[in-house]
Structure 1
């Protein structure tokens, strides 16, 4: 089976997917007129001004849920893997795909808001690629094909987020914990599964509250410690940046001939980490309570920056500035060693150990434990986010099941599957876990990017409408009918129920019985 998975991974992650991700990022950057740069003020504003309700979470909570999914083992072990097999230049290509991916993230997350629905059981907002792929063309002859397309995406996302990806995160945690404290991986997996089960029972609100509490705290601490290490080695700052840039363009003699693998590993790990275009962020975006879809699109575009430009860069600086890494030929630890840090212990495998040794070099006795804790919290919140994404896509199918008890039973079955994935993944070989994760990420990326390239127009209309209303001095309110956008049923209902938000007087109410006009003789 390992050979089959390796083959499938190679097919999915062929150069065609790398090109598709980069091309989509360039295309959306141009069509949105460099939104990822000119829209930064709107991104920051929406973080502060977000709304929330009984059915939806605030923009900030949605961002934290999204970052819970984006900031995980990929930000630590994934960066180490990219450097080991692609050289330091892979970091530059992670930055590049993040900058381009920010525009892609805006498009997919705006679409998720446009076509979101309310769960018939919980009344929570649900949405994402499966929903917008189906609904955007539901009024056309292409409706049957798009329905099948949406179902295929939902199945792929459920498999990826309910089984493949949680195993990767649990594997990273168990590896770091074993390296730091010697705890057997299976015990770590069981502990994670127990706490996870308690939280997911509380639904999206409990997941959002937990993510809002944990993600900012750990991310800030992690970035601050990375900056301390970087500036403690301040004389190496020019060297670190110089090494990254020269290696990225095959200008460094020590890493000559690695341009292709640097691009591939940088883009692959960049997508895995920041998830732009992968189709995972839209699920969290749809959960937010906003007055206009573009508002949440801006918030989620900013999430890509936080993930890659801040957290992933922090990891890269720790590894490279301390020299605690090695680079292999042939994209395998069996290949010849191109570079090896002189102080890196020979028994440290590719992964969290690079970061742990880098921190330990600066703070003796501190590195392994801190990185283990960071990975524990990052990965745990990521597993929570994955569960939520799997549930959203399972609810996509549950819409067609009339029996409420059957729907609830299916959700409980999903919870059990995720817990099993965590326990199995924690004690699996690291390579096997990463291959399964890559298959899941790559499959959903293929389906989603092609999907948003087909149905991008509603998001572009929403962006134009947002700026037009903002220029007119209004707080943007979304009216799909005015923009010629069909099947945005949530927003159509919102306009009918709250006409005052759109400058229309409320519909007259029928008089109460006690207020009725008296009947004459």
Structure 2
């Protein structure tokens, strides 16, 4: 078995230098790296930052102006006879967006760049909200109806914007499918890490990966994921509608408890974050540049705005106007960064583990991001008796983050695959490939005590490809978004939307016939509510 894994790992070894080169380009050239501050930033980061600034200016800060409207739309649990509700779409996108990377990424950013990285993470998230808005509106504009669902996203709007070429859609779909499915084993690893921590804490021992406990975890995971994913998107959204709010409330609840108990350290948190972001003695080298770099990277990579990886959820929603779903996705970026990532930031900064002041050997643990986070949480826990409780609750939350991200990867791969073929057998094959091959593959690698790092690099490579292709596409298609937003602002979102009539764009869904059907459905809903009242 080990020989097989070694052969697989060796086969993908060529991916590593390519992925590293593209993610770091052009910082891997000395002439560029020597440029003050700018030389710290790779092209991918600059593209995402530039896009966020551009969309923020062109939409006149729609993410702030329409913030309260975003909240009202997210709270809407009603959908038309087709598709899922805005609330369900928000939960589905959050299931994918809120993952282990939120905790590990923030921990790493603070560990490397100090608390100032959190400030720049907030700044980038603010601009990322506009990027998320733009790509979500495009996902809505170019979505297509399939039976009682909607399908769309990057592959669909990319195909239409780039000359309506099927080959473009197929290529984008394949890029995303490879990215998503090869991320499944790594999320499986995160699940094992978290659940193994729970088992070790409850059992007051350390279980070996060949133990019955780990085999039981693996079997349960395979069965649970297959039962959800093979049931289709609506079964998954029913689960995420319940699971995502619960895990968010529990996670935020335990962290807020730690913050309240350690309330004396709250002023230190804000002073460290703001002071670290604008340290005057290090503006042109060292700390300022690193904090800025880490904060921007974390803000961009955590909320995924601009990468096109969340657009499938945006396309699945039922909306009165495409701009409505743009506001939903904008709120998703806010929730991910300002709420979930902030919780991790509070724990890491307030505990002082990252400074070495907590009585731990920092150099020995700094590379173990989950270990640093858990140790920080335990440091803030009120008394030794609460250490185990805090560790178990946070480990379960971490496991749920990984679980929802995992099923989100498979579901989004399925949605994206519809641009290749809407045949039910083909779509079922995608579901089975994710749940009955890649999940068990991830389980087996964990049980064999192997991480297969070279394979995970393939997902990283596809991710950078998605950034490089998605941002130019949404920039090219943004003219439709700006027109749709102008119509939305003019009518205050109260009038129906027909793409040909209102922005001069022929689309598959936003037609006169579809608008009439939506109006009839809304009228029936209003009559039904009046009769109940």
Q: Deviations over 1:334-380 (max 9, x none)?
A: xxxxx434333666442222221122221322232122101111110
Q: 1:172 aligns with which of 190, 194, 198?
A: 190
Contact 1:243–1:252 at 8 Å: present in 2 too?
no
Q: Note the C-alpha offset of 1:388.
A: 0.9
* Root-mean-square deviation over aligned CA pairs: 2.9
Q: Could you say what secondary structure the match of 1:110 adopts?
A: helix
> Does the residue aligned with 1:125 lie in a helix, a strand or coil?
strand
- C-alpha displacement at 1:179, in angstroms? 3.6
> In structure 2, what is the equivalent of residue 123 of structure 1?
148
Q: Distance in 1 between matches of 2:189 and 2:480?
A: 40
**Residue 268 (structure 1) aligned with residue 297 (structure 2):** yes
Secondary structure at the residue paired with 1:491? coil
Q: Structure 1 pair 289/406, CA: closer, same or farther in 2 (3 Å)? A: closer
Once residues 155 and 286 of structure 2 are traced to their aligned partners in structure 1, the CA distance between those partners, rounded to angstroms, is: 41
Q: Are 1:358 and 2:376 an aligned pair?
A: yes
Residue 120 (structure 2) aligns with: 93
Q: Is the 8 A contact 1:174 1:184 kept in 2?
A: no
Does residue 11 of the first structure (1) align with residue 27 of the second (2)?
Answer: no
Change (3 A) 1:433 1:130: same
Aligned to 1:388: 411
1:419 alignment partner in structure 2? 439
The superposition leaves residues 8-44 of structure 1 with CA deviations (integer Å, 9 ceiling, x where unpaired) of: 2323323111111111000000000011111101101
Asked if 1:61 corresponds to 2:88, the answer is yes
Q: Which moved more, 1:239-248 or 1:54-63?
A: 239-248
Structure 1 residues 52, 116: closer, same or farther in 2, change over 3 A?
same
Within 2, Cα distance between the matches of 1:265 and 1:71? 19
1:333 maps to what in 2? none
Q: Is the 8 A contact 2:226 2:435 kept in 1?
A: yes
- What SS does structure 2 have at the residue aligned with 1:33? coil
Any conservation in 2 of the 1:48–1:60 contact (CA below 8 Å)?
Answer: yes
- Could you tell me how far 1:453 is from its partner in structure 2? 0.7
Match of 1:458 in 2: 480
For 1:238 and 1:251, locate their aligned partners in 2 and report how far apart those are by CA, in whole Å: 20
Instruction: Say whether 1:448 aligns with 2:466.
Output: no
Greater displacement, 78-87 / 181-190: 181-190
Deviation, structure 1 residue 217: 1.2
Residue 153, structure 1, aligned to residue 163, structure 2: no
CA distance in 1 between partners of 2:457 and 2:280 (Å): 31
Aligned residue number for residue 37 of structure 1 = 64
* Counterpart Cα distance in 1 of 2:95 and 2:337: 13
**Does structure 2 conserve the Cα–Cα contact (< 8 Å) formed by 1:171 and 1:430?**
no
User: Which residue number in structure 1 is paired with residue 349 of structure 2?
Assistant: 320
1:438 matched to 2:460: yes
Structure 1 residue 174 displacement after superposition:
2.1
- State which drifts further: 443-452 or 67-76: 443-452
Aligned to 1:48: 75
In the TM superposition, residue 481 of structure 1 has moved relative to its aligned partner by 1.0
User: Does residue 191 of the first structure (1) align with residue 220 of the second (2)?
Assistant: yes
Quick one: structure 1 residues 442 and 499, their matched pair in 2 at CA, closer, same or farther if it must change by over 3 Å? closer
SS state of the match for residue 418, structure 2? helix
2:525 aligns with: none
Instruction: Report the equivalent of 1:328.
Output: none
Q: Which string of whole-angstrom CA distances, capped at 9 and with x for unpartnered residues, describes residues 84-117 of structure 1?
A: 2333222222212211100000000011111101
Following superposition, the deviation at residue 303 of structure 1 comes to 0.6
Q: Say if 2:188 and 2:439, in contact at 8 Å, map to a contact too.
A: no
Alignment partner, residue 490 of structure 1 = 509
On the 8 A contact 2:195/2:395 being kept in 1, the answer is yes
Rounded Cα–Cα distance in structure 2 between residues aligned with 1:262 and 1:424: 38
Which stretch has the larger CA shift, 479-488 or 387-396? Answer: 479-488
**Pick aligned residue for 2:360 from 344, 347, 369:** 344
Bigger proportion of residues as helix = 2
Change (3 A) 1:201 1:143: closer
Contact 1:81 1:350 in 2 (8 A): no
Equivalent residue, structure 1, for 2:6? none
Contact 2:56/2:127 (8 A) holds in 1: yes
Give the unaligned 5+ runs of structure 2: 1-9, 25-41, 201-205, 523-533
| Count of aligned residue pairs for this structure pair | 476
Q: Give 2:27's aligned residue.
A: none
Residue pair 1:80, 1:350 contacting (<8 A) in 2 also: no
Aligned partner of 2:158 among 133, 158, 170: 133
Instruction: Summarize the alignment of residues 160-309 of structure 1 with structure 2, pairs less than 5 Å apart.
Output: 160-163=179-182, 165-180=183-198, 181=200, 182-184=206-208, 187=215, 188-251=217-280, 257-309=286-338
The correspondence for 1:367, drawn from 383, 386, 390, is: 390
The offset of 1:50, in angstroms, is: 4.8
What is the TM-score of this pair, normalised by structure 2? 0.82
Deviation per residue, 1:115-168 (Å, 9 max, x gap): 10122xx5311010110111235xxxx444xx44333221111011111x2233
For the residues of structure 1 that align with 2:290 and 2:139, how far apart are their CA atoms?
Answer: 33
Change (3 A) 1:100 1:254: closer
In the alignment, the residues of structure 2 paired with residue 294 and residue 160 of structure 1 have an alpha-carbon distance, to the nearest angstrom, of 28
